[in-house]
Structure 1
Amino acid sequence: MKISNRKRVLVTGGAGFLGSHLCEKLLKDGCDVLCVDNFYSGTKDNIAHFVGNPHFKMMRHDVTFPLYVEVDEIYNLACPASPIHYQFDPVQTTKTSVHGAINMLGLAKRTKAKILQASTSEVYGDPKVHPQTEAYWGHVNPIGLRSCYDEGKRCAETLFFDYHRQHGLDIRVARIFNTYGPRMHPNDGRVVSNFIVQALSNEDITLYGDGEQTRSFCFVDDQIEGFLRFMALPTGDNGQPGFPGPVNLGNPCEFTIRQLAELVIELTGSKSKLVFHPLPVDDPKQRQPDISLAKRLLNWEPNISLETGLKRTIGYFESVLLSGS
């Protein structure tokens, strides 16, 4: 029997970049938050400022093992998201996506909790359709170096929809496009953090290929708002599950990697020079979300410009590098 009126929310991967921002917003919204993380790529520094909050609890746990708790909502964010981290132990990456999905779906089934899966634009692979809509099935190499993440997330989506169809689970599948902001790990190998750290250190900025491949960068605050609006969609008539997705969440403004590098140099006042290296295997040439569905269904679109978001992110990395953490 639930005594408190506070919503009990579980965030897996809650000590990671996105997870910690989500925990923070949920606490501000009056929820009881259970943050679960095995600290493979997350860090206690991201959640240290929540310590002492009576409505926040941290649990060290690996989602590849079952979890027995009582919750009302689940945000399943657990999985390393940067190539450096997910390629370090590719078997564990796949297990985190697949076994983790099975365990969290089993928990949602038992507790009758609404559950959101943090999927990824990587399910589209190196797309042949541009921009990418939710109806596009993708162009993914199933045996490449990135497939532990790409195919793991695709399989997780399959599991979510099968639990939805077979057991009537109220699921939400969000396909996240490139997101950046404070609390990114300085050494996670992602393009925004790489460029900012190199620029602040006046080191050469490393571009792969000719730098003309494109990405769409969404600031973390906008991304978290998308999660919350998606999860807040009402259930259907007679308690039936609501709209399951998938829904693209990302910034539709497309930039080349070279444009990003030049903007970071300008905003940091860096003396860095651009250097070019061969393009990694299976690296997508284009990535841009069609967010028509999110606009219509969630009344959501990003509000924070790339320049504004980068300034806030640069300020964070300046403090990190200054402290030596």
Structure 2
Amino acid sequence: MTGRFERALVTGGAGFVGSHLCERLLDDGTEVVAADNFATADTGNIAPLLDHPAFRLLSRDVTLPIAAPSSFDVVFHLASAASPRDYFRLPLETLRAGSYGTENALDIAERDSARFVLASTSEVYGDPREHPQREDYWGHVNPIGPRSVYDEAKRYAEALTAAVRRERSVNTGIARIFNTYGPRMRSDDGRMIPTFLTQALSGEPLTVAGTGQQTRSLCYVEDTVRGLLALAGSDFPGPVNLGNPHELTVLAIAEEILSVTGSSSAIEYIDAAVDDPARRCPDISLARRELGWAPEIDLAQGLPLTVDWYVRKNPLEPLH
């Protein structure tokens, strides 16, 4: 499906999902320009790509006009802090990435008559009162809470993308990405999977927030990337959920990580996070129907792959 793309711009291309997307595009024969200011990205994510003849890295802040050196036929806008630890640390920068950054990326897509794909998030649903979440649900979001800088930045980005599609006929698509995990997540980014893995592999207690009965659905990064490419290869405007509909409690996820790593770490309960969603699970009927997409890699396959990567990147003393 991606063979039709000759040249792609990926903002946030050095990030966790962005680097996997760049790699997949290159494998499909697409020339790739990645723009990133490395506020939250790890340079190691794209180190293997730097010598690829079809890859170019721009060290740019997307909240400033992007002097893109090429014309593109697809623009993926992924640039944003994505973990609570990062957007709590960079609140204004996160809001600007969703506003100015989205506008700048849309301007390039309009200039080049390119397909535009916005990487939005399940966080637009907030702490949902509808379950599972469908795309026609408007959400339950605290607009001034500590998480709002990310939630509202993405909600604004969606509104801007939809308005530009209506008013300027730009070919846009909106993806709402649910919890994604896999190799290249920073061990210190504060999200559930890297935090639990780091704790388990170092023999520290796994810190479960609240009761641990809040739910999440976990999608392996390769599946998320396939979904983004499926959306890019279509004319569907979205929004469309990209996630795994298999729902698990946070406690069950912690226990699964203990099992896969063979760790003897204890589970320790800590205070619940402010505005932490009680349930989070996508309805992916629309993705199945419009994109022919569904996740293929379940947790039993994806988690060992993630653990293997973490062990290679962060070698520790053997667990006892």
Structure 1, unaligned runs of 5 or more: 234-241
Alpha-carbon distance in 2 for matches of 1:55, 1:189: 33
- TM-superposed CA distance for 1:6, in Å, is 6.4
SS in 1 for 2:136: coil
- Asked whether the 8 Å contact 1:72–1:111 carries over to 2, the reply is yes
Alpha-carbon distance in 2 for matches of 1:15, 1:316: 17
TM, length-normalised to structure 2 = 0.96
Q: 1:255 aligns with which of 248, 251, 276?
A: 248
Q: 2:257 aligns with which of 264, 269, 289?
A: 264
- TM-superposed CA distance for 1:106, in Å, is 1.2
Cα deviation per residue 1:145-176 (whole Å; 9 max; x = unaligned)?
00000000000000000000000010010000
Q: How many residue pairs end up in the alignment?
A: 312
- Asked whether the 8 Å contact 1:208–1:279 carries over to 2, the reply is yes
- Asked whether the 8 Å contact 1:37–1:62 carries over to 2, the reply is yes
TM, length-normalised to structure 1 = 0.94
Percent identity over the alignment is 48
Residue 320 of structure 1: aligned partner: 313
Please say which of residues 314-323 and 244-253 is displaced more in the overlay: 314-323
- Asked whether the 8 Å contact 1:125–1:150 carries over to 2, the reply is yes
**Residue 306 of structure 2 aligns to which amino acid in structure 1?**
T
Alpha-carbon distance in 2 for matches of 1:209, 1:135: 29
SS in 2 for 1:322: coil
- TM-superposed CA distance for 1:323, in Å, is 8.2
Residue 283 of structure 2: aligned partner: 290
- TM-superposed CA distance for 1:243, in Å, is 2.0
**Residue 174 of structure 1 aligns to which amino acid in structure 2?**
A
Structure 1 residues 226-265: aligned runs within 5 Å: 226-233=227-234, 242-265=235-258
Residue 127 of structure 1: aligned partner: 128
- Asked whether the 8 Å contact 1:112–1:169 carries over to 2, the reply is yes
Pair 1:13-2:6 in alignment: no
- Asked whether the 8 Å contact 1:178–1:218 carries over to 2, the reply is yes
Residue 279 of structure 1: aligned partner: 272
Pair 1:85-2:86 in alignment: yes
* Compared CA separation, residues 79 and 6, structure 1 to 2 (3 A): closer
SS in 2 for 1:57: strand
Residue 50 of structure 2: aligned partner: 51
Structure 1 residues 107-146: aligned runs within 5 Å: 107-146=108-147
Structure 2, unaligned runs of 5 or more: none
- Asked whether the 8 Å contact 1:116–1:174 carries over to 2, the reply is yes
- TM-superposed CA distance for 1:89, in Å, is 1.8
SS in 1 for 2:315: helix
Alpha-carbon distance in 2 for matches of 1:176, 1:125: 13
Indicate the RMSD between aligned Cα atoms, in angstroms: 1.2
- Asked whether the 8 Å contact 2:5–2:73 carries over to 1, the reply is no
Residue 238 of structure 1: aligned partner: none
SS in 1 for 2:173: strand
- Asked whether the 8 Å contact 2:37–2:60 carries over to 1, the reply is yes
- Asked whether the 8 Å contact 1:63–1:78 carries over to 2, the reply is yes
Alpha-carbon distance in 2 for matches of 1:109, 1:43: 30
SS in 1 for 2:314: helix
Alpha-carbon distance in 1 for matches of 2:202, 2:67: 46
**Residue 201 of structure 2 aligns to which amino acid in structure 1?**
L
- TM-superposed CA distance for 1:68, in Å, is 2.6
Alpha-carbon distance in 2 for matches of 1:67, 1:323: 41
- Asked whether the 8 Å contact 1:76–1:116 carries over to 2, the reply is yes
- Asked whether the 8 Å contact 1:68–1:107 carries over to 2, the reply is no
